[in-house]
């Protein structure tokens, strides 16, 4: 008998499983244990009692559909609540004479504090409580340097603390049987939660996503079949299919990283995918773990510069420039394509995320907080660990960050990674007839070419809001001043 089964047998009775960022049945260790033996009250609580980083608009849409999918898989026996999780769980435990409460670990600082408080209150009532790792390949507390301090650079973290550790947990199946209890006092439905806004901007966004556990597994299968080969190089080109688009599924827990890890590793033998592509993709899963690792060990990461010298950086304030960036009206086509993709779909290709991030903090000298906040609201896959670590990386202020003087040239980046202009023209249709030779620098196109393409700079498409060369020099001077 497995250790999970043995523990469950010894704790037979009525228990609660609290779904959070693990909205799936398969490879959900806590839910598996809860369901092995005994009746389960499966619950989801929308708890927005924390002050910072309340869920953004696009994430709410993703959560809404993911919950609907989970509710269907649980035959409408997922109990929905809204309010302080501690109050709700303790009330349920008393009302239903609960023996044990299980949930999966989250790493946002306020959730860590919340979990400890709930554990303490349950222990006072002699109710067993077990928290499981269901969202990371390696637990942050176990991956330390020999002196006991946390890693601050990705490569030694991944190679020393991860690849030399025991391999990630083999994925579990879904529970073989479910005995779910419907709480008679739970009258809320998913539609009652404030997840879909009153305005209808999200209707177009929803068309780009199939949320839920089955949709996540289909995306994984499609990626393995069509995108894993040539991943190392192809992932840089936004018009190619060499990206997995699994970030939202991993954030909401529709899919576990363990399922992805083992599915991808199988391909080296089953389909002879080059190892360089497999290893590079697996290292990206490692980078996701590293972001959570940083957040776990440095909980101020979402707002404080990891490198303190950036506390003296002379950030500018300019609402007009910020608005132009948000709306994709900067006059730099690859920037505008990325920002419009974000608004229209709730997603942005990773290479383009780096380009637009560099432009905001270096060419516009606007604080990375402003980019972080906009992405937080617009990304379906908005994830505190990934969002804050990535913005600090691109700003140069983070752990193992790109050096500040690495400033992406949007003209060269566009020409290199969207050489036929397919991605850019899809999201910037004003330039659909612009020759590729001038697509990423329309302000340099001769008048005849602009006229033939139907482009009137400053009217049908904006002039550049900053001069790239001059803004680059200004950024380097600002960086020198803060050392």
List the catalytic residue out of 311, 312, 350, 433: 350
How many C-beta neighbours within 10 Å does residue 387 have?
21
In whole angstroms, what is the distance from residue 96 CA to residue 207 CA?
41
CA-to-CA distance for 239 and 268, rounded, in angstroms?
Answer: 25
Q: Residue 315 catalytic?
A: yes
Run of H or E residues at 36: helix 29-36
110 catalytic, yes or no? no
Q: How many Cα atoms within 13 Å fall on the side-chain side of residue 124? A: 8
Distance CA 236, CA 351 (A): 6
The active-site residue out of 160, 236, 287, 443 is 287
Q: Is 372 a catalytic residue?
A: no
Q: Which of 110, 230, 304, 315 is catalytic?
A: 315
CB 180: neighbour CB atoms within 10 A? 16
Residue 53 tokens read as: 């980083």
Dist CA 215 CA 225 (whole Å):
15
User: What is the DSSP code string of 190-219?
Assistant: GGGSTTS-SSSTHHHHHTT---SHHHHHHH
CA-nearest of 367, 308, 360, 349 to 471 is: 360
Residues comprising the chain, all counted: 483
Per annotation, catalytic residue among 209, 368, 376, 393: 368
387 is catalytic: no
Is 284 considered catalytic here? yes
- H helix count then E strand count, the chain: 23, 5
Please state, as a whole number, how many other Cβ atoms lie within 10 Å of the Cβ of residue 260.
27
Residue 69 half-sphere exposure toward CB, CA atoms < 13 A: 23
**350 catalytic residue (yes or no):** yes
Q: Which of 363, 391, 393, 430 is catalytic?
A: 391
Rounded to whole angstroms, the Cα distance separating 56 from 48 reads 12
Of the listed 239, 279, 284, 304, which one is catalytic? Answer: 284
Active site residues per annotation: 284, 287, 315, 350, 368, 391
């Amino acid at each position: 008998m497995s250790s999970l089964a043995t523990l469950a047998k010894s704790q037979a009775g009525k228990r609660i499983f609290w779904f959070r960022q693990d909205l799936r049945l398969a490879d959900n260790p806590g839910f598996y244990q809860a369901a092995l033996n005994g009746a389960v009250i499966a619950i989801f609580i929308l708890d927005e009692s924390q002050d910072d980083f309340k869920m953004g608009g696009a994430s709410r849409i993703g959560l809404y559909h993911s919950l609907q999918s989970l509710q269907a898989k649980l035959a409408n026996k997922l109990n929905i609540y809204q309010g302080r999780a501690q109050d709700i769980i303790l009330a349920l435990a008393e009302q239903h004479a609960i023996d044990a409460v299980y949930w999966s670990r989250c790493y946002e600082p306020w959730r860590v504090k919340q979990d400890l408080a709930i554990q303490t209150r349950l222990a006072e009532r002699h109710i067993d409580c077990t928290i499981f790792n269901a969202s990371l390949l390696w637990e942050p507390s176990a991956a330390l340097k020999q002196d006991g301090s946390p890693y601050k650079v990705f490569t030694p973290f991944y190679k020393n603390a991860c690849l030399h550790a025991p391999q990630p947990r083999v994925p579990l199946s879904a529970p073989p049987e479910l005995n779910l209890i419907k709480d008679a006092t739970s009258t809320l439905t998913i539609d009652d939660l404030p997840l879909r806004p009153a305005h209808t901007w999200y209707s177009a966004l929803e068309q780009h996503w199939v949320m839920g556990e089955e949709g996540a597994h289909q995306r994984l299968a499609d990626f393995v079949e069509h995108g894993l080969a040539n991943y190392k190089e192809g992932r840089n080109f936004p018009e190619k299919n060499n990206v997995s688009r699994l970030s939202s599924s991993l954030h909401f827990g529709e899919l576990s990283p363990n399922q992805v890890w083992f599915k991808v590793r199988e391909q080296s033998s089953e389909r002879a995918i080059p190892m360089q592509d497999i290893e590079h993709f697996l290292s990206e899963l490692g980078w996701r773990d590293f972001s959570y690792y940083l957040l776990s060990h440095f909980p101020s990461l979402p707002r404080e510069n990891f490198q303190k010298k950036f506390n003296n950086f002379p950030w500018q304030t300019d609402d007009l420039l910020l608005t132009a960036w948000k709306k994709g009206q900067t006059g730099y086509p690859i920037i505008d394509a990325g920002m419009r993709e974000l608004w229209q779909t709730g997603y942005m290709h990773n290479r383009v995320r780096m380009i637009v991030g560099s432009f905001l903090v270096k060419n516009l000298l606007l604080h990375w907080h402003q980019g972080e906040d906009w992405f937080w609201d617009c990304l379906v896959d908005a994830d505190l660990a990934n969002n804050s670590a990535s913005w600090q990386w691109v700003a140069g202020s983070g752990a193992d960050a790109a050096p500040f003087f690495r400033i992406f040239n949007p003209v060269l980046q566009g020409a290199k990674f969207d050489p036929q202009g397919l991605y850019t023209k899809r999201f910037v249709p004003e330039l659909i007839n612009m020759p590729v030779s001038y697509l990423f620098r329309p302000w340099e196109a001769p008048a005849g070419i602009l006229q033939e393409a139907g482009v009137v700079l400053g009217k049908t498409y904006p002039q550049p809001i900053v001069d790239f060369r001059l803004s680059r020099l200004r950024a380097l001077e600002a960086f020198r001043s803060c050392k």
